Amino acid sequence: MTETKSTCCYCGVGCGVIIEHEAGHITGVRGDPQHPANFGRLCTKGATLHLSAAPETLAARALHPELRSGRGEARQRVGWDTALDTAAERFAAIIAEHGPDAVAVYGAGQLLTEDYYVFNKLVKGLIGTNNLDTNSRLCMSSAVAGYKLSLGADAPPCSYADIAHTSALFITGSNTAFAHPIAFRRVEEARKARPDMKLVVIDPRRTDTAEAADLHLALLPGTDIALYNAMLHVMLWEGWVDRGYIEAHTEGFDALKKIVREYTPAMAGSICGLDRKAIEEAAQIFATSPATLSMYCQGLNQYSFGTHNNSALINLHLATGQIGRPGAGPFSLTGQPNAMGGREVGGLANLLSAHRDMANPAHRAEVAALWGVPDVPATPGKSAVELFRALKSGEVKAVWIACTNPAQSLPDQALVHEALQAAEFVIVQEAFGHTETCAYADLLLPATTWGEKDGTVTNSERAISRVRAAVPAPGEARHDWAIVVDFARRLGARLGEAELAARMFPYASPEEIWNEHRESTRGRDLDITGLSYALLETAGPQQWPFPEGASAGKVRLYEDGVFPTPGGRARFVATEHRITAESPSARFPLHLNSGRLRDQWHGMSRTGLVARLYSHESEPMLHMHKDDMARRQLADGDLVKVKSRRGDVMLKVLESATLRAGQCFVPMHWGANATGGLGINVLLPADFDPYSKQPELKHAAVQVEKY
Ligand code: SF4
């Protein structure tokens, strides 16, 4: 038996794993005791990773390139040359006829940093469009926009180590116990070690995380801004703000003060559905604790005002000086293993490499010089929802989808399925051949996955970890980066840029790609010029920034109170409460909330292969309050039709004491293949935040009827 160290491919905790393998097969997995994210522990998902790679799961894998000659035809197995020549020909023809903006790539936070880098360079450098977006748009883009708006850069200032130093932990919009279980183990340990540490949970549901809290604020969905403004109102009234910190390190406080004057606890309580005393207590804990840490996730991000949800929370940290110290600060939890790495290489339609700004001509020129191209386009590309709308309308004609399943995971599934049907050419690059999106592939490209590929990922706390191959690729699957490089050279030849493409994509290994990415960070806030694969090998995961000459990365940012804004000051964002994209009505009277289960992950393309992971919840159920069930004469297990303005889905119903009356909850994981129809996300709206373009996946107004 041989052992190979790698990183778990599920969530943003980024736990280290040791893969056990024999004769080319993965036989076991255990936590890496030396990895700083988990110190040997794994949750149920991580601990069953080897089962998701067991020989019997091969039937679910995409193993050979497949091509179909036309819509309605079955795909036929082809060789890689035919597959990539066809892809290059179709892309080149569309670009020649309609211009570069007629093609697009849609990727994922599960891609490794090296994969992301070459996709970004292909699209923005060689093709010349910014139409590259990823499923990180559904996950972290409001956190990105919130950090940039308030603090000046997309840089989470804290670390998981801060959990052990905080005296008050606010978990907001996150069921950490389920979604980031090993981070939650650290919370439990910290509370055991320091019983006076307070845990405050802000969540519409009484989740397992909320159950553990000293104070649970079960606010109405989408009312976070009103709550935070009211907490600031109380802090001002009681003299709990840190005026010295505000004066020395921030700007814009007066404008915010004017707004929060109106947000009395009673007024905000009526918006949030909370008792004013609970708001006052939360404000006191937040402001008067020696160190307050906020951990937050999709409950803030997935709203059509997600950016301002983030900024309103960061306002509290700035107003109380709860930032830049051990155990204090705002800390976004990334949903995916490498959403951070994607952001670092500029892997979204509005970003450029190494946190450069697409709107900044000097930054565009720097990226063009790094890549050896005349320029990179200035106009932002299409974000996730915009991209699928453009596919449907015909504005974008070809899409290359890599490592994600938008026909399950995007909101408004009716739109997504119509868009994929309308597209002229759909490439799907996937490890698993059974996803809903694969059904739309004109060309299916088999990719390697966890346990088979090499590279790096960055977790929520800016720590870069190595991912390593333990076993060979199955069938004819190839590494994502290698597919892109091969395609780029073939496309370059067809665009009359063969020499340029060969110069741009010379890589023979992921390390060569990473070294180029590293150079792109020189002098930037995420400078990693002091790192190397060799150092990651010997010293283990490292946090950025880690510039040349440094002996360690930074555990904590902004300790000096200087922020990466033009004036060096953090910015208060004066923001008002706003309403969700949909309000309950007579026809759609219930609030629907969506989220993760403990043992499933995203669209279940991997966790769905492991029988053991169904023992916690075996099927999607609609969780409802007993009063709402009684009104509809429903009993546990009854089949109901859940309907929103976009479509409906049939589910069994389950009484739940975790919800208030008037609200219901559905797990996010099941798509059309499992539920029939168009899956859970047919219910959710595609309305998105105007700044982050992140859609409102956390809320819809629905009706529920007995079937
Ligand atoms: Fe994997 Fe996240 Fe579980 Fe760690 S906490 S084992 S990274 S799923």
From 6, 15, 209, the mutation candidate for ligand 1 (largest count of ligand atoms within 8 A of CB) is 15
**CB 580, CB 592: distance < 8 Å:** no
Q: Do 168 and 127 belong to one domain?
A: no
Q: pLDDT band at 348, cuts 50/70/90?
A: very high
Would 556 be classed as within a structural domain?
Answer: no
Q: What is the pLDDT of residue 611?
A: 92
Q: What percent of the chain has pLDDT over 70?
A: 100
Does the Cβ of 181 fall within 6 Å of ligand 1? yes
From 6, 7, 10, 18, the mutation candidate for ligand 1 (largest count of ligand atoms within 8 A of CB) is 10
Would 188 be classed as within a structural domain?
Answer: yes
| The Cα angle at residue 599 between residues 636 and 543, in degrees rounded to 5 | 145
In ligand 1, the atom with minimum distance to the C-alpha of 11 is 2
Q: Do 372 and 509 belong to one domain?
A: yes
CA distance 157 to 88: 42
User: What is the dihedral angle through the alpha carbons of 561, 572, 566, 290, rounded to the nearest 10 degrees?
Assistant: 10
Q: What is the pLDDT of residues 364-409, one digit of tens each?
A: 999 999 999 999 999 999 999 999 999 999 999 999 999 999 999 9
**Of 19-23, 384-388, 584-588, 600-604, where does mean pLDDT reach its minimum?**
600-604
Q: Going by C-beta distance under 8 Å and a sequence separation of 6 or more, which residues neighbour residue 576?
A: 225, 229, 259
Q: What percent of the chain has pLDDT over 90?
A: 96
Here the tokens at position 7 are 């990183």
Q: Is the CA virtual torsion 75, 78, 80, 86 positive or negative?
A: negative
The residue-averaged pLDDT of 128-133 equals 98
Please report the ipTM that was assigned to this predicted complex. Answer: 1.00
From 9, 35, 45, the mutation candidate for ligand 1 (largest count of ligand atoms within 8 A of CB) is 45
Q: What is the pLDDT of residue 676?
A: 81
3-state class of 180 per DSSP? Answer: coil
Distance, CA 549 to ligand 1 centroid (Å)? 32
Q: pLDDT band at 679, cuts 50/70/90?
A: very high
In ligand 1, the atom with minimum distance to the C-alpha of 337 is 7
Q: pLDDT band at 674, cuts 50/70/90?
A: confident
Distance, CA 270 to ligand 1 centroid (Å)? 38
What angle, 0 to 180 degrees and rounded to 10, lies between the N-to-C axes of helices 224-238 and 265-272? 160
The residue-averaged pLDDT of 457-473 equals 97
Would 416 be classed as within a structural domain?
Answer: yes
Query: 3-class secondary structure for 102-162?
Result: HEEEEECCCCCHHHHHHHHHHHHHHHCCCCEEEHHHHCCHHHHHHHHHHHCCCCCCCCHHH
The residue-averaged pLDDT of 631-659 equals 97
Strands (E), 167-277: 168-172, 198-202, 215-217, 250-251
Here the tokens at position 96 are 């020649």
From 32, 42, 600, 601, the mutation candidate for ligand 1 (largest count of ligand atoms within 8 A of CB) is 42
Q: Do 128 and 145 belong to one domain?
A: no
Please, what's the b/e burial string for 152-176 (b: 16 or more CB within 10 A of its CB; e: otherwise)? bbbbbbbbbebbbbbbbbbbbbbbb
Q: Do 79 and 132 belong to one domain?
A: yes
Distance, CA 243 to ligand 1 centroid (Å)? 40
**What's this model's pTM, rounded to 2 decimal places?**
0.96
Q: Do 480 and 497 belong to one domain?
A: yes
Distance, CA 10 to ligand 1 centroid (Å)? 6
| The Cα angle at residue 259 between residues 662 and 158, in degrees rounded to 5 | 75
Would 637 be classed as within a structural domain?
Answer: yes
In ligand 1, the atom with minimum distance to the C-alpha of 183 is 5
Q: What is the pLDDT of residues 522-565, one digit of tens each?
A: 999 999 999 999 999 999 999 999 999 999 999 999 999 999 99
Please identify, among 511, 543, 575, the residue that sits at the C-terminal boundary of a domain. 543
Q: What is the pLDDT of residues 165-224, one digit of tens each?
A: 999 999 999 999 999 999 999 999 999 999 999 999 999 999 999 999 999 999 999 999
Q: pLDDT band at 336, cuts 50/70/90?
A: confident
**CB 440, CB 420: distance < 8 Å:** yes
Q: Do 101 and 54 belong to one domain?
A: no
3-state class of 487 per DSSP? Answer: helix
Does the Cβ of 45 fall within 6 Å of ligand 1? yes
Does residue 284 register a pLDDT over 90? yes
Strands (E), 478-589: 542-543, 570-571
Does the Cβ of 43 fall within 6 Å of ligand 1? yes
CATH of the domain at 163: 3.40.228.10
Q: What is the pLDDT of residue 339?
A: 84
In ligand 1, the atom with minimum distance to the C-alpha of 13 is 7
Total Cβ atoms within 10 A of residue 639: 12
Q: What is the pLDDT of residues 408-443, one digit of tens each?
A: 999 999 999 999 999 999 999 999 999 999 999 999
CA distance 182 to 199: 17
| Token pair 């395609």 in the structure block, residue | 487
Q: pLDDT band at 573, cuts 50/70/90?
A: very high
CATH of the domain at 10: 3.30.200.210
Q: What is the pLDDT of residue 672?
A: 86
Does the Cβ of 13 fall within 6 Å of ligand 1? yes
Distance, CA 334 to ligand 1 centroid (Å)? 12
Would 122 be classed as within a structural domain?
Answer: yes
Distance (Å) of CA 531 to CA 47, 115, 457, 547, 646? 30, 19, 14, 7, 48
Does the Cβ of 606 fall within 6 Å of ligand 1? no
Q: pLDDT band at 355, cuts 50/70/90?
A: very high
3-state class of 495 per DSSP? Answer: coil
Would 611 be classed as within a structural domain?
Answer: yes
Q: What is the pLDDT of residue 71?
A: 85
Residue with CA at minimum distance from ligand 1 atom 4: 15
CA distance 244 to 247: 5
Chain mean pLDDT for the chain: 97
- Residues of the domain holding 187: 141-333
* Structural domains counted in the chain: 4
What angle, 0 to 180 degrees and rounded to 10, lies between the N-to-C axes of helices 361-371 and 510-520? 150
Q: What is the pLDDT of residue 589?
A: 98
Q: Do 192 and 284 belong to one domain?
A: yes
CATH of the domain at 630: 2.40.40.20
Would 572 be classed as within a structural domain?
Answer: no
Residue with CA at minimum distance from ligand 1 atom 6: 46
Does the Cβ of 308 fall within 6 Å of ligand 1? no
Q: What is the pLDDT of residue 335?
A: 87
Distance, CA 178 to ligand 1 centroid (Å)? 10
CA distance 620 to 624: 13
Q: Do 395 and 412 belong to one domain?
A: yes
Q: Do 310 and 376 belong to one domain?
A: no
Q: What is the pLDDT of residue 379?
A: 93
Would 573 be classed as within a structural domain?
Answer: no
Please identify, among 333, 355, 384, the residue that sits at the C-terminal boundary of a domain. 333
Q: Do 172 and 291 belong to one domain?
A: yes
Q: Going by C-beta distance under 8 Å and a sequence separation of 6 or more, which residues neighbour residue 341?
A: 112, 113, 116, 456, 457, 458, 464
Does the Cβ of 102 fall within 6 Å of ligand 1? no
Q: Do 380 and 328 belong to one domain?
A: no
Distance, CA 336 to ligand 1 centroid (Å)? 10
CATH of the domain at 455: 3.40.50.740
Please identify, among 13, 39, 60, the residue that sits at the C-terminal boundary of a domain. 60
Q: Do 108 and 165 belong to one domain?
A: no
Question: Residue 241's closest CA among 147, 315, 157?
Answer: 315
Q: pLDDT band at 72, cuts 50/70/90?
A: confident
**CB 49, CB 17: distance < 8 Å:** yes
In ligand 1, the atom with minimum distance to the C-alpha of 601 is 8
Does the Cβ of 11 fall within 6 Å of ligand 1? yes
Q: pLDDT band at 515, cuts 50/70/90?
A: very high
